[in-house]
Structure 1
Amino acid sequence: MSLVLPSEIIVERFLPTVRAMLAGRLEEQGLTQQEIADNLGVAQAAVSKYVNGRATVEERFRDDPRTVATVDRIADGMAAADMDGYDALVELFELIQEFEDRGPICELHEAEMPALRGLGCDLCVRGVDTEIREEREALASVRNAARILATVPGMADHVPNVGTNTGTALPDATDVTDVGAVPGRIYTVGGRVEVPANPEFGASHHVATTILAANEADPDLRGAVNVATRDPLLAASHDRGIEPLEFDADYDDRSERLRKLFREHGVPRVIYHRGAFGVEPITYVFGVTAVEAAELAAELVAAADRDSPR
């Protein structure tokens, strides 16, 4: 994906177009090319290019009535010596702000960066939106965690039959829609871990409710991965100074029961259950983000496979 800043469009397309239009208007007002150059702060050779139609202009700016009106005001003011460079900058800056708010600058920016289309980007107008940044960071964490799970040797053997998932909660998350995860879960095909889709918020109920319960007790923990419960993996946790916490496999009121458990015992980085009728044994590995959880899970899987009898 190309990386283009809106400021590049302003410098490379908006300003040359406006200068060319101003040069033409000022010439019509009777100013010499040197006088026009002095007003615009450019060389006389550049003015010659502008007035002779040899400059490249952007039609979206040139043909916009707002540009025409602004250029006319500036040209009239400069010709009458009623407007100085500062006044002209104020006029142009106000026009740029209009054009950045879903205007020609925004349109050209989306044309240069097609990935922005449909996002309702208003970065130029509102600045960096903290909530949007946090959402993007959470989804990026899940995406990177899924990539880790898909590339770790031996991970496929630790994916439960029902599939696995990984998630990251937003700061101050309150429900499952505040937790990003992989839709449809991560599964294995032919001994490989397959990630079926890009992460979305609200895509996982079980991982999300587990993360939310842990996060309520320990706000630093916002990520998790679930894998199959295996004794070698639990032993690898012990070896790393992690005391896995066992919990009831029953799904009824699991969220509240986990919250109670975490209030009483804290939140270790590994919790597990041994399964129940129709419920596969599952282990959850926690981290500050999904990436940290996936990295710890990868370490435990590697240690478990290394220490397991062949």
Structure 2
Amino acid sequence: MSLVLPSELVVDRFLPTVRAMLATRLADRGLTQQEIATELGVTQAAVSKYVAGEGGGDDRFRDDPETVATVDRIADGLAGGEMDGYDALAELLSLVRSLEDRGPICELHEEVMPELRGLGCDLCVRGLDPDVRAERDVLANVRTAARTLASTPGMAAAIPNVGTNVGMCLPDPNDETDVAAVPGRIYAMGGRIEIPANPEFGASKHVATAVLSANAVDSTVRGATNIATDDDLLAAARSTGIDPLEFDAEYEDRADHLRTRFEERGAVPRLAYHRGAFGIEPATYVFGSTAADAADLVETLVSKRRRTDR
């Protein structure tokens, strides 16, 4: 029996193909060969071969729709600055896991190890902890939400002095440790949005309180972000059919107060806001099914306000 690890096929067959695909797509998007070499971690000579179509690889991956879509997404993200190396790596690792689950990598594995044929082999995916998958998905979603906020034109004006955060909870959360958010919060500095770190579980208190309160009333609501209370943004929300909910900033138990207000409303609103109090800055919470959903709504409202201001 020839012992071949799926990871060997990833290195020998998958990776050269994907690098060649990425090189040609990045070249099409205007990057120089040196810039492409830096992004891919290879030499400029290797990029030259890839772009010339001499990089080899396996057509099984070139023709795979999921691989093509992922490579296009990474190329767009790297070329446009919306992705960094960490993002691209996360996309590729996710793709590899998918291709190992009865995909092209699995097919190649059965070719080089015929003993696996007909066994319904699931060695690559057996035992995957669903809790680990859920945590990974939540962290990825919060990272996407943070990038959305950072890339929204005019967002700096919507960030309160205490900073903004964006969070998302796991299904059936128990406490703040089940809510992922950005450590240290997101700040506006010189008109730019600064994201100090990648999201972590247990990194937020205020946004986590809002997320947990909302989720306790409606389990489909798992994401939230906070922005400055602004009448123009509230008006933009109302113009889209959203009815913002006002609540009292001075309640000692914010979680209990929010749950009560949501229950009185009969639903979790897309926006809940307060006007502040002594020592408390006015704040608005934007809710969504995920952190990215909440961030998308903020982007929409900020964009509507900018158009109105012109």
The normalised TM-score by structure 1 is 0.61
Which whole-Å deviations, capped at 9, do the CAs of 1:171-202 have from their partners, x for residues lacking one? 01111100000000000111101100000000
Which whole-Å deviations, capped at 9, do the CAs of 1:282-309 have from their partners, x for residues lacking one? 011111111010000010011122223x
RMSD, aligned CA: 2.6
Match of 1:7 in 2: 6
Q: Which amino acid aligns with 1:199?
A: P
Alignment of 1:97-112 (within 5 A): none
Matched residue of 2:148: which SS? helix
Cα distance 1:217–1:306, how it changes in 2: closer, same or farther (>3 A)? Answer: same
Cα distance 1:125–1:296, how it changes in 2: closer, same or farther (>3 A)? Answer: closer
Cα distance 1:217–1:6, how it changes in 2: closer, same or farther (>3 A)? Answer: farther
Which whole-Å deviations, capped at 9, do the CAs of 1:40-76 have from their partners, x for residues lacking one? xxxxxxxxxxxxxxxxxxxxxxxxxxxxxxxxxxxxx
Conserved? CA contact 2:251–2:257, under 8 Å: no
Cα distance 1:7–1:168, how it changes in 2: closer, same or farther (>3 A)? Answer: same
Conserved? CA contact 1:169–1:178, under 8 Å: yes
Q: Which amino acid aligns with 2:233?
A: L
Match of 1:185 in 2: 185
Q: Which amino acid aligns with 1:268?
A: P
Structure 1: how far apart are the matches of 2:262 and 2:173? 17
Match of 1:296 in 2: 297
Match of 1:153 in 2: 153
Alpha-carbon distance, 1:11 to partner: 10
Structure 1: how far apart are the matches of 2:7 and 2:285? 47
Could you tell me which runs of 5 or more consecutive residues in structure 2 were left unpaired when the two chains were aligned. Answer: 13-114
Cα distance 1:126–1:304, how it changes in 2: closer, same or farther (>3 A)? Answer: same
Structure 1: how far apart are the matches of 2:128 and 2:6? 15
Match of 2:175 in 1: 175
Structure showing greater radius of gyration is: 1
Which whole-Å deviations, capped at 9, do the CAs of 1:208-241 have from their partners, x for residues lacking one? 0100100111111100111000000000110010
Match of 1:215 in 2: 215
Cα distance 1:6–1:159, how it changes in 2: closer, same or farther (>3 A)? Answer: farther
Alpha-carbon distance, 1:124 to partner: 4.8
Could you tell me which runs of 5 or more consecutive residues in structure 1 were left unpaired when the two chains were aligned. Answer: 14-88, 98-122
Structure 2: how far apart are the matches of 1:167 and 1:12? 35
Alpha-carbon distance, 1:8 to partner: 4.0
2:286 paired with 1:262: no
Structure 1: how far apart are the matches of 2:170 and 2:249? 26
Structure 2: how far apart are the matches of 1:135 and 1:270? 26
Conserved? CA contact 1:232–1:305, under 8 Å: no
